[in-house]
Amino acid sequence: MNIFETYLKKIQDLIIKNSSILKIDSNVNFAGTLVESPPQKFNFDLSTNIALVLAKKSNISPIKLAESLKKLILESLDDFSEINIAGPGFINFRFSTKIYQKLIINILNSNKKYGSNNKSESYNIEFVSANPTGPMHVGHSRGAIFGDVLANLLIFNGNTVVKEYYINDYGNQIINFTESVFYRLREIKLNEKFPKKDNLYPGEYVIDIAKNILKDHNNIVLNDFNKIFNMLSQESLKHSMNLIKVDLKALGISHDNFVSEKSLVEKKLVEKAIQNLRKKNFVEEGYLNPPKGEENKDWKKTKRLIFKSTLFDDDTDRALQKNDGTWTYFANDVAYHSDKINRNYNYLINILGADHIGYIKRITASVKALSDNKTILICKVCQLVKLFKSGKPYKMSKRAGDFISVKELLDQVDKDSIRFMMLNRSNDVELDFDFDKILEKTRENPVFYVQYCYARISSLFRTLKVEMKSEFKLDENDFNLNEHELNLFRKILDWPKVIETASNKFEPHRIPFYLYELATLFHSYWSKGNEDPKYRFIVNEKIQSQNTLLIIKLVAITIENGMKILGVKLPSKM
């Protein structure tokens, strides 16, 4: 129920129907026209620039066109009590009492679905996909929460979403990780000192993994690493992934699918995907130029299979094979995306870390080539998280090795605060995570401020001895809203548009921004009652106006829907 789109369509239809009267081409182009919320100071519900845009295209006066449109709308629609022309030709509208009442009833009836635009696309969102060589770190948590909330947002908006984790369990990193576990096992069983080698993982969590393996394999023979590699690799990855899943669960995140890179290789899906591209003439044998910055004397010119990704807007063609003829990481990734394409989603979404920006063009090119431009891939990059305390960079114990783990973060801050604050800025800018701010119980802490808004609403209903889940009815014969209630209601009417914009642009950070603004309006109204008795909600243990209770109920509905998308709890008491 996006009223802005609804009324834009109504006005456009009126213009087309009356184009000759308005002296406008009947095939007028409405590009750039919109209906939106006017600034609060104007005290109107809707505003449109349509007269300004069309007047310029038709070479007529915007004020005269606005006047003609005003007259036409008043004659044709009985939805407005007042229409005003402002500035160079903006048209502002105030709803009639009948429309206010209709909108309120619609929101009450929508309840838990209020804001949904009833889309029906299918999405695969691949997120986190941290290397299975240890626990999650703070940087992973931002992408994990972003992906999870984006999935919740798209589901709320009526779409089908599969949340997927791609396990990078193939290649040298897995060999190095397994070797690290091997040496930790020898350390435990044979009192042998853990070696100092650059390729090993020194974190203490590897000791925990080794101890867990010994619970089931206490008689493991540690004489020959190669002989036990397959078994040890499998066990090491199992316990490492368990660590990651525990961290994800603590953040309130679960995935629908876990896809193994190793399984793709073993099923020969890499060969199948490359063969598919060869049939389309997008793969050739050839030579690549040395990478930028690499000395020519160190570069070995080797013939290999090359994906012609420059045909799909990439900066350079990409190698599918290493010097020794084995598949590159990119080739395996091509196979993974081919597998996703074959599962027939409308959209593929990859949530990437800041270090993967350079990878976007090549994988996007491969999806275009594999799907004949039919499958859309969207890549969203989550920038770094910087931790601060007392105004200074904050470093924790780093038990995990060379990074700060999610578990350490959760020991300091609760899950709900982390989820809310990780979305408190757009994903494409760095995020400053301030421990002092997030522990404050003030408006400077946005998650507290929104939760406190809901707690206040809950206390109000408790005082009135009214269940928040009760059915609310509108008194059509006694309907009036004061300026604070109008401001709240207008903000509530923005909610479906916020959902639509956040969904279309894949920008879930718009949700906490909006909720904070809505909570601010409510707290302002609450405080006004302490200054002026006419704005008090309750007098003699009774609500002053049923209209007030209705608007507060709408605030509660909207906050409940928003916080459900964010995966953040709403306490009834604080």
CATH of domain 3-95: 3.30.1360.70
Q: If you average pLDDT over residues 397-405, what whole number do you get?
A: 60
The yes or no reply on domain 446-566 and CATH 2.170.140.10 is no
Q: What is the pLDDT of residue 462?
A: 95
Strand-pair partners of 284: 306
What is the Cα 285 distance to its own chain's centre?
40
Provide the Cα torsion 235, 236, 241, 246; round to 10°. Answer: 90
Instruction: Express each pLDDT in 281-294 by its tens digit.
Output: 999 999 887 766 55
Q: How far apart are CA 35 and CA 47, in angstroms?
A: 6
Distance CA 189, CA 223 (A): 12
Task: Give every strand in the sheet of 80-86, ordered side by side.
Answer: 35-36, 46-48, 90-95, 80-86
Q: Where are the domains of the chain?
A: 3-95, 127-254+383-439, 446-566
Q: Which of 269-278, 292-301, 388-397, 500-509 has the lowest mean pLDDT?
A: 292-301
Task: State residue 291's pLDDT score.
Answer: 65
**pLDDT reading at 299 higher than 70:** no
pLDDT of residue 398: 45
Backbone angles phi, psi at 172, to 5 degrees: -60, -35
Q: Where are the beta strands (DSSP E) in 121-244?
A: 122-126, 160-167
- Measured distance CA(99)–CA(104) in Å, rounded: 8
DSSP string, 179-199: HHHHHHHHHHHH-PPPP--TT
pLDDT tens, residue by residue, 206-246? 999 999 999 999 999 999 999 999 999 999 999 999 999 99
Structure tokens at 568: 């953040």
pTM: 0.93
Q: In the predicted model, is pLDDT for residue 308 greater than 90?
A: yes
- Across 287-336, the runs of DSSP E, i.e. the strands, are 304-307, 318-319
Helix, strand, coil shares, percent, the chain, to 5: 50, 15, 35
Summarised one tens digit per residue, pLDDT across range 486-507 is: 999 999 999 999 999 999 999 9
Q: Mean pLDDT over residues 174-188, rounded?
A: 97
How far is 315 from 140, CA to CA, in rounded Å?
A: 28
How would residue 298 be classed by pLDDT, with cut points 50, 70 and 90? low
Lowest mean pLDDT among 55-59, 369-373, 378-382, 396-400: 396-400
Whether the CB-CB separation of 508 and 149 falls below 8 Å is answered with yes
Q: Are 220 and 181 spatial neighbours (Cβ–Cβ below 8 Å)?
A: no
Provide the pLDDT for residue 323.
87
Mean pLDDT, to the nearest integer, of 245-267? Answer: 97
Summarize the confidence of residues 350-367 as an average pLDDT.
Answer: 95
Question: What pLDDT is stored for residue 319 in this prediction?
Answer: 95
Continuous H helices in 222-328: 225-250, 261-266, 269-279
CA dist 342 and 242 (Å) reads 29
pLDDT at position 97 is 95
Q: Which of 3.40.50.620, 3.40.309.10, 3.40.50.11810, 1.10.490.10 is the CATH number of 127-254+383-439?
A: 3.40.50.620
Pick 41 or 294 by higher pLDDT. 41
The answer, yes or no, to whether residue 567 has pLDDT greater than 60, is yes
Show the tokens assigned to 164.
């997927």
Residues 89-117 have a mean pLDDT of 95
**For residues 321 and 330, what is the distance between their CA atoms, to the nearest angstrom?**
9
Task: With a cut of 60, say whether residue 400 has pLDDT above it.
Answer: no
pLDDT tens sequence across 317-334: 999 999 888 999 999 999
Kindly state the helix (H) or strand (E) to which residue 538 belongs, with its residue range.
Answer: strand 538-539
Cα separation, 490 vs 95, in Å, equals 11
> What whole-number distance in Å separates Cα of residue 530 and Cα of residue 537?
10
pLDDT of residue 25: 84
The label of the residue with tokens 């915007």 reads 62
Neighbours of 358 (CB within 10 A): 8
The yes-or-no verdict on residue 399 having pLDDT over 80 is no
φ and ψ of 59, to 5 deg: 60, 45
pLDDT at 510: 98
Confidence grade of residue 396 (pLDDT, cut at 50, 70, 90): low
Confidence tier at 401 by pLDDT (50, 70, 90): low
Provide the pLDDT for residue 57: 87
- The CA distance from 199 to 177, in Å, is 8
